[in-house]
Each structure stands twice: as structure tokens, then as C-alpha cells.
Amino acid sequence: MSSQPELARKLGLFDATMLVMGGIIGAGIFINPYVVAQRLHTPALILGAWGAGGVIALLGAFIYSELAERLPRVGGQYAYIREAYNPLFAFLYGWVLLLVIQTGGMAAVTVTFSRYFLDLSGWKLSEAGVAVVTIAILTLLNCLGVRTGSSVQNALMVTKIVAIFLLVGAGLFFVSSPATAWRPLLDRPVSAELASDFGAAMVPVLFAIAGWQTANFSAGELKNPTKDLPRGLLMGVIGVVILYMAVNFVCLRTLGPEGLAATKTPATAVMSSALGAKGVKLIAFGIAVSTLGFLSQSILTAPRVYYAMAEDGVFFRAVGRVNATTRVPVVAIVLQSIWTVVILLTGKYEQILNYVVCMDWVFFGVSASCLFVFRKRATGAARLLMPGHPWTTAIFCFICVLIVGNTIMRYPMNTLIGVGILFSGIPIYFLWGGKERAL
């Protein structure tokens, strides 16, 4: 591998920030508020759930910032788990990322984009056909070079932000009769039932607010990863939290808790109330661009994990090759896109999404715990970026345990399937490892 071309370091702070925000903001914030409102019934509780999600994301951003500074290597979480614990654990993360977490989410997001695109254009085409063509175009663009892929991602991310500002502005200034009352704070006494419902409401929140970690996958392509990646993580997550809270505020202001719970398209309902049919078209365009941007970011970042796995000799050798002209891992990018298309065409992405949250937060917790290991080893001269460590890091890890535990209790079958997929990687790892020893 040493004779092969290396990844090109062409990305800066703005690119890192846009990668962080692009990895988080997809279609979830335009849709998931209604799911939260179905489980919690007062503005204070609903905003409290999104605020709690924001705090958790910010804790994660601080942890990943320090991890990025201590170990600024391609692959992000994969590299942290490998260096702190065991190559097998790192491989299992990459394995489930490829089979479930990244590709399942990408398939669902691509279908969402196709539906909005066809609705806006009025074309009579197949949803699946549009989805496949979309993935193919974005894959090609990212194969042309990291600068090209990042420029496309940046443009889409800026457009997303404009769409969210438009939604918030419309809800604040063009809805003359607010539909919500801000009291009472709670709809029932504090109890175990309320705590359980709050935990259930956090599932769609956490699904919508996760994704900050994907920017770390591309550490090997940042010009100055030890400085730009930590700053990009913090600025990106803070920006997303502000945008998410603003969107939920205008949804509640316009629709009220009951109205929000009654619609599956809250962003569309807000824009319809504010600007009529023109507003519906505008937000449909914004959601389409948002899903496209999320997909573009996924194609840009996640293949770097499979590339790192191949470099370690635990995945197909071809996946670890960098194109001499474009300086990107073309085979890794194409592999992920092909598997996404397979999931998309089989229609299994909805089932896969049911156990993405559990698998995601298992590895969030494992990755966060790597900080304990790295600080104990005291490797390098990294800044201590995580305030309140070890207590704050321990709290984040405990939150991950609670999220996984709550998911197991509420969706035991989905969790069992996810765990089965995870452990199916163990024999695969030793098969590849044995082949490498033989060579």
C-alpha cells in the first residue's frame, strides 16, 4: 500500500464545518417534529426533548473534537476503536456501517429525494429509477476528486441553511395568529411513565441530530485536521442545534402541539399556513435539496472507513486503492453506492432504519470511551478539549447505554436483528485476517 497514491489534503475549516452540518441535517428535521409531538404534548416537553438532544450532540462534538486532535487519521471512529481497543471491534463497526447504518440511511434518504423531485417536476418516472440515477451522479462527482465532491456538498449545505431560514422566517413573520399556548409546562405529573415517553420521544430526535461523527472519517483529507476538524465539529453542531430549535419553535407556534402531532409533514404545514401553495413548493424544494445534500455528504465521507479497513488488510485490497489522478478511494465509494442501490431496490431500507439507532449509539458510546484510554496513555501533546472530563465523558457514555437499553426494551426484535448483523462480521474478520496471514 505504501507505493500507492495517498489521499489528497485539500479541505479546510469551512469544508469541515459544512461536512459536520451536512452529516446531521437531512430530511429528519422537516418531518420528525410530529413524531416527538405524538409522544409529548406540551411545547415545553417537546422543545425540552430537542434541547436535550442538542446537549447530547454537543457533548459528542467535544469528545470527537479531542479524539480528532489526538488521532487525526482517516476513518474516524474506526481508527479510534482500533487504536484504543482491538482491530476486531473496529472492523465490526465498519462492517455494520456498510451493511446497515450508512447504506440503509442513504437508501431511505434517496427515496425521499425521489418523491419530492417527482412531485416538484411533475415527471412520470419511477421513484426507484430516479433514486438510482441520483446515486450514480453523486458517486461520479465524488470520484472526480475530494475537492469536487466537497464543493458540491458545500453548495447543497448552504442551500439547506437558506431553506431552513426561509421556513423559520415564514413561521415567525407570516403567521399572524400563533396556535400554541406555552402553559402548562407538563401534561401530567412527573412519573416513570413520563420519563419513558420522554425517552421514546428522544429516539426520533437522536436520529435527526446524529451524524456529526461522519466528518471525522475524512480527517486524512483535511489540510490541518488537528485544528480544523475540532473547530468544525463544534461550530457545525452548535449551528445545527440552533437551527433545529428554531424549526421546532415555529412548528409549535404555527400548529400548536396537537396540530403538530396530527400532521406527518410539519414543515409543509407551516409553509402552507404562512405562504400558501407557493410556500409548499418552496419547502418541497428545500427538503429535496436537504436530502440530496445528506446523500452527497455520505458518499464523500463514509467510504474512507472502508478504505481504512482495506489498508489494515481486513477488507478487499481493491477498496484500499487511491486513484492516481483524482486521489480518492474510487472502489470504496462505488462499493458503498452499489450496496445502497441493492438495499433501495429490495425495499428493505425501512426495516433497516428500525435498528440503525441502536447500532449507531452502541458505537458512539464505544468511541467516546476511547477518550479514557487515550488520556491514560497520554499520547502526543493534544489539547484537553472535553470540558469536565472524566465526568462529562462518562455521562455521555451512560446516555448511550440508556438510549441502547431503551431501544432494546421497546424494539427487542429490531435490536436482535441488528446484533445478528453485527456479530455476523466476526467470522468474516477472521476469514480476511487468516487470508492476510497466509499471504
Question: Is pLDDT of 379 > 60?
Answer: no
Half-sphere exposure of 217 (CA within 13 A, CB side): 29
Residue 235 resides in a domain = yes
Strongest mean pLDDT among 180-189, 198-207, 380-389:
198-207
Q: Is a pLDDT exceeding 60 seen at residue 264?
A: yes
* Mean pLDDT over the full length of the chain: 88
Average pLDDT on 394-415 reads: 85
Name the grid cell of 98.
Answer: 456498510
5 in any annotated domain: no
- What is the per-residue DSSP string for 119-186? HHH-----HHHHHHHHHHHHHHHHHT-HHHHHHHHHHHHHHHHHHHHHHHHHHHHS--S-------S-
Return the DSSP state at 319: G
> What's the CA gap between 254 and 24, in Å, rounded?
25
Does a structural domain hold residue 4?
Answer: no
pLDDT at 227 over 80: yes
Q: Give per-residue pLDDT as tens, 86-119.
A: 999 999 999 999 998 899 889 888 988 998 999 8
Residue 321 lies in a domain: yes
Can you tell me which residue has the cell 435527526? 208
Going by C-alpha positions, the residue among 331, 293, 287 that lies closest to residue 150 is 293
2 falls within a domain? no
Is residue 222 classed as helix, strand or coil in its secondary structure?
strand
Asked whether the predicted pLDDT for residue 216 surpasses 60, the reply is: yes
**Predicted local distance difference test score (pLDDT) of residue 349:** 67
- For 368, the 3-state DSSP assignment is helix
Does the pLDDT value for residue 167 go beyond 90? yes
Structure confidence at residue 353 as a pLDDT band (50, 70, 90)? low
pLDDT at 231 over 70: yes
Average pLDDT of the residues in 335-356: 82
Average pLDDT over residues 45-63: 93
pLDDT at residue 438, rounded to an integer: 35
Least confident of 91-95, 244-248, 281-285, 344-348: 344-348
pLDDT band at 1 (very low <50, low <70, confident <90, very high): very low
Can you tell me the mean pLDDT for 155-177? 91
Give this prediction's pTM.
0.90
318 in a structural domain: yes
Which domain covers residue 331, as residue numbers?
A: 13-377+384-438
Instruction: Report yes or no on 143 lying in a domain.
Output: yes
Q: What CATH number is attached to the domain comprising 433?
A: 1.20.1740.10
Q: Is 194 exposed, middle or buried (0-12, 13-18, 19+ CB in 10 A)?
A: middle
Give me the number of domains the chain comprises.
1
pLDDT of residue 263 exceeding 80, the answer is yes
Q: Is residue 22 part of a domain?
A: yes
Choice between 354 and 236, residue whose per-residue pLDDT is larger: 236
